[in-house]
Amino acid sequence: MNFLYRFLFFSFLAIAILLITSCDYQPYKQGKNLYNFYCATCHMDDGTGLKGLYPPLAGADYLANNQSNLACIIRYGLSDTISVNQKTYNQAMPGVKDLNEVQITNVINYINHAWGNKLQHVKVDDIQKSLVDCQY
């Protein structure tokens, strides 16, 4: 009897561990969905971009160095020539007007933590403030 209980206990434990580890933990769910819908057509699902046409977001120095401009870039686009990881890009990026501040925050938090990126966690308040600077 004792053996049966012990067997059951360890089986449950094993199943519990398997369940926990098999769940794909994704804390930035909305951000990911929005990214895949609005951004991944050019920047790709894996954030690698497309050669010299569209810059990568995964491991991109530009992303790390321009955190305060990200919200403005997402909403209003970008037509400057920029340098990302020593490579020059000048294809204009259209803005995404459909996203509200909360959604922009979620997108930024997703790209800041996806594909090995380990950048800051941003709050809606900060995004609202940074969007004031680029209102046209």
Partner 1 sequence: MVKNFSIISLFALCLFFGCSTETGKLPVMGNKDVIDGKNVYHQISDFKFIDQDSNIVTNETFKDKIYVVDVFFTSCPTICPKVKKQMLRVYDKYQNDDRVSLISHSIDTRRDSVPRLKDYANKLEIDSKKWHLVTGDKEKIYDMADEYFLVALEDPSAEGGYDHSGTIILVDQNRLVRAHANGLIPEEVDRFMKDMDRLLLDNSVEE
Residue 10 CB partners (closer than 8 Å, separation 6+):
none
Q: Which long-range contacts (CB under 8 A, 24 or more apart) does 118-122 make?
A: 119/63, 119/64, 119/67, 120/67, 122/67
Q: Is 91 in the site for partner 1 (CB under 8 A)?
A: yes
Residue 58 engages partner 1 in binding (rule: CB under 8 A): no
Tokens representing residue 100 in the block: 């509200």
Task: Out of 51, 121, 123, 129, name the contact with partner 1 by CB under 8 A.
Answer: 51
Q: Is 44 in the site for partner 1 (CB under 8 A)?
A: yes
CA distance 5 to 23: 27
Mapping DSSP onto H, E and C, the string for 23-82 reads: CCCCCCHHHHHHHHHHHHHHHCCCCCCECCCECCCCCCHHHHHCHHHHHHHHHHCECCCE
43 or 108, CB closer to partner 1? Answer: 43
- Our finding on whether 33 is near partner 1 (CB under 8 A) is no
List the structure tokens of 108: 């930024």
Closer residue to partner 1 in complex, CB, 49/127 = 49
Q: Does 52 bind partner 1 (CB under 8 A)?
A: yes
Nearer to partner 1, 46 or 61 (CB): 46
Q: Is residue 62 close enough to count as binding partner 1 by CB under 8 A?
A: no
* Residue 77 sits in the site that holds partner 1 (CB under 8 A): no
Contact flags string 2-21 toward partner 1, x per CB under 8 A: --------------------
Interacting residues toward partner 1 by CB under 8 A: 40-42, 44, 50-54, 91, 94
